[in-house]
Structure 1
């Protein structure tokens, strides 16, 4: 089904055959799990079938803490992700201390990417590796590592796409002033970004400031299931010892938007004219559809879009939060001053999106009457349409990605888009015949093609993930990687799976 049809038929059932039995879960539970030449489409399309974007790039994605390892080596200090995992909060008690050891094996990894014909690699910089205490002197060893990685990629013709912060805020800043809930973070993030632009911007042309701020704010400051694990009763899903679930998610997100916009202003003023790069923000995007044709479910779906996509994109495009959010959250959500609104509005060259599956929305507006309302309960109850916390495989529903791209085109003026994460979760095992992952990618790349043919300004598709890395949810027994790693092998040898070859 084309995305234009989806826009007109929001309540119709998806034409794609789901691989799991539907279960009713709240959106909150779903977000906890997340926080978690190419040929495609059988014989029907190929790499050359993207006419509006002949240079659309295909790549693999990772993040620093999930693949680098060397967590306490060469001057790196802990991030909030280290603190979280070492407190035993990650699934299976896993940590990223070693992860895939890309810090030591980056040359081997880049050669493998080249052998697989990779066009681009999206990775993140560990702030606490580059500037160990969040501010102050630059760590020479950290600087050397990222210079080496970037140079190695370019020497093999692979385009680097860099994320400045993927959940891993330096623990020192969390302790100094509360991290993202402290106003000082805006200046400190801009200073950190300045270092990255100055040191790497002559070779890096694509920058994302912060990854998934909508999920990070909810998981880290409302439910407390992500670092820095702040929440309060009765909304926290864990036994949090600090935080305020009613206000802090909004405060953290507000500061993230201001930090992002400050970094963009800096880049445009000091670097963009000479470095000729592009900068954006990467959000988690879910395609919501009403569970029924009722007016209530349709309105609830709009509300869900506002609270997940609009929360980040309305300020970037229109200069303010969605009206529904302001009405529901009231004084709990910070207001932009006129200067802040002007700073945030237009602060992107592209939008990065993370997308894995669709959700169906059922109205639950009765909770809006409560004096104390949970952050995500402010909108709706959802049906994941074939995915819950006990299953492994993600439902194959490429029409959902088409729907997101059509929504961005219709509501936000068709901005340039990079799909920075999209992939299939499977059990971690020794088999490299990961046919379900191939089927997933094949379907979603065809969905991208449909969206491009329908006018979407999509510039890139990146599969999550290059390697079987450290994953926050069910990290011990599941993986998204296109390359298998035997964690019992001291050398952590890489084995390309069927999906990587495909």
Structure 2
């Protein structure tokens, strides 16, 4: 029997739950960061849209929108709040009740173990103990939920997480340190493999994957130098995540390129590489936002910037995301492609190109589009209704390319809009909104109002529910 295509939306624990210190939850690195002087905005996720207390309403609304799956993450700090391996049963109770609601409405849970919010006692991904601690946490989750969760994912967006922490420096620990970047990247791969090893011990009917952020690398020319830049960009953005996760090893050329960049790889352990080899994923989640448009490296030190202000006008003169990786590649600019207000390309074809590259490199592995969304400054009418036509156009254009990739033989199994409702958008705060449902942060009850995109997506699912 053909597997049912999954149509849903997604959130993440820190970004939506609120209740940051309720019911025995310990602090995460994002709690610490948001409550520190390093957070120049003073904006936190302490309450956000308070999904912790509104989840029944939120899941019912998903069902009313014809969604049959929900991607969310578990807060490690809710389950193991202290560095003592003592389980906080109240944390499990929350997620048990959330899954009860999913089951009530026939909504399939797709659950990520870590979505940026490490416990504060772990500190950073460069902690030498992180992979063993992560494996323990994962084993506790797997044993508790078992087959109630059909789709598990280990880590959300290793490539973007690593870049924000250690290259751009806009997420804690807010460093610009390529040695730590590589150590973090390696530890994340080991974390995934060790968690999968724990997962396999239980012989569950569920499956396990990893969620990847970066799109395929492209260029505006096909000269040897530009093609080399594409190769190096794919190594930097994609291959170090997906190769070990899917194939069980790193390509020698990647290792040599990293060494030639002056990175000390003495932290790499033979036993870790054996664990990676023997514990690969069943599927991957591919998040769909933008491509990596690159050109050959011309000079300058490694640097990367993003615009968290959202003051672009979408033209070529707007501030935009930039990146130079010394000796590897530089980010390029296509003047014919519009930018969103945060300087990111709006280029829907990128997901088609990305999916075809995955199929070409990794074969018929199942793929879920685990995030696809469009941030806006939404304007609501007097009733809280948002007519977000720009978001609808964005989602529709991406979906057409995703459906084409499926028709062309890519093993796409499902799709999730980012996000289910408006939520905390990391250091962009609450003005940058992605939700299908508006949250009124000025209202004491955090009133929910479906946007025009909610109803559009409901109708789209009806049209394509049997693909």
TM-score (normalizing by structure 1): 0.80
Distance of 1:429 and 1:376 partners within structure 2: 38
Instruction: Give the aligned partner of residue 188 of structure 1.
Output: 133
**C-alpha displacement at 1:334, in angstroms?**
5.4
How far 1:215 sits from its partner (Å)? Answer: 1.4
**Is contact 1:167-1:227 (8 Å) kept?**
no
1:289 aligns with 2:218: yes
1:208 deviates by: 0.4
Q: Name the CA distance, whole Å, in 2 between partners of 1:89 and 1:362.
A: 34
SS of the counterpart of 1:352?
A: strand
CA shift in 2, pair 1:455/1:329, >3 Å: same
Tell me if the contact between 1:284 and 1:354 (Cα under 8 Å) persists in the aligned partners. Answer: yes
Do the aligned residues in 2 keep the contact of 1:250 with 1:334 (CA within 8 Å)?
no
Residue 492 of structure 1 and its aligned partner are, at CA, apart by 0.3
Whether the 8 Å contact between 1:393 and 1:425 is mirrored in structure 2 is no
Contact 2:288/2:371 (<8 A) preserved: yes
Where in structure 2 are the equivalents of 1:151-166 lying within 5 Å?
A: 151-166=100-115
1:325 aligned to 2:257? no
Equivalent residues of 2:423, 2:430 under 8 A apart: no
Residues of 1 paired with 2:300 and 2:274: CA distance?
34
Q: Which residue of the other structure, out of 148, 161, 179, is the alignment partner of 1:203?
A: 148
Among 359, 366, 379, the alignment partner of 2:292 is 359
How far apart are residue 365 of structure 1 and its match?
5.5
SS at 2:122 equivalent: helix
Report if the CA contact (8 A) 1:128-1:134 is conserved. Answer: no
Which residue of the other structure, out of 437, 440, 444, is the alignment partner of 1:486? 440
Q: Report matched runs for 1:293-312 at 5 Å.
A: 293-312=222-241
Q: Compared with structure 1, are the counterparts of its residues 420 and 339 closer, same or farther at alpha carbon in structure 2 (3 Å cutoff)? A: same
Residue 212 (structure 1) aligns with: 157
Residue number in structure 1 paired with 2:463: none
1:34-433 → structure 2 map (5 Å cutoff)? 55-87=4-36, 89=38, 92-174=41-123, 179-229=124-174, 231=175, 236=176, 245-270=177-202, 273=203, 275-330=204-259, 331-333=263-265, 336-345=268-277, 346-364=279-297, 366=299, 376-383=325-332, 385=334, 386=337, 391-392=341-342, 395-430=345-380, 431-433=385-387
Matching residue of 1:241? none
Per-residue deviation at 1:428? 3.5
Aligned residues: 427
Distance 2:266 2:373 in 1: 34
TM-score, normalization by structure 2: 0.86
Q: Distance in 1 between matches of 2:398 and 2:290?
A: 10
- Find the aligned partners of 1:101 and 1:205 in 2 and give their Cα distance: 25
Q: CA deviation at 1:469?
A: 0.3
Which residue number corresponds to residue 388 of structure 2? 434
Give CA-to-partner distance per residue, 1:261-308, whole Å, 9 cap, x none. Answer: 0110111112xx2x3000011111223211223221111011101111
Structure 1, unpaired ranges of 5+: 1-51, 237-244
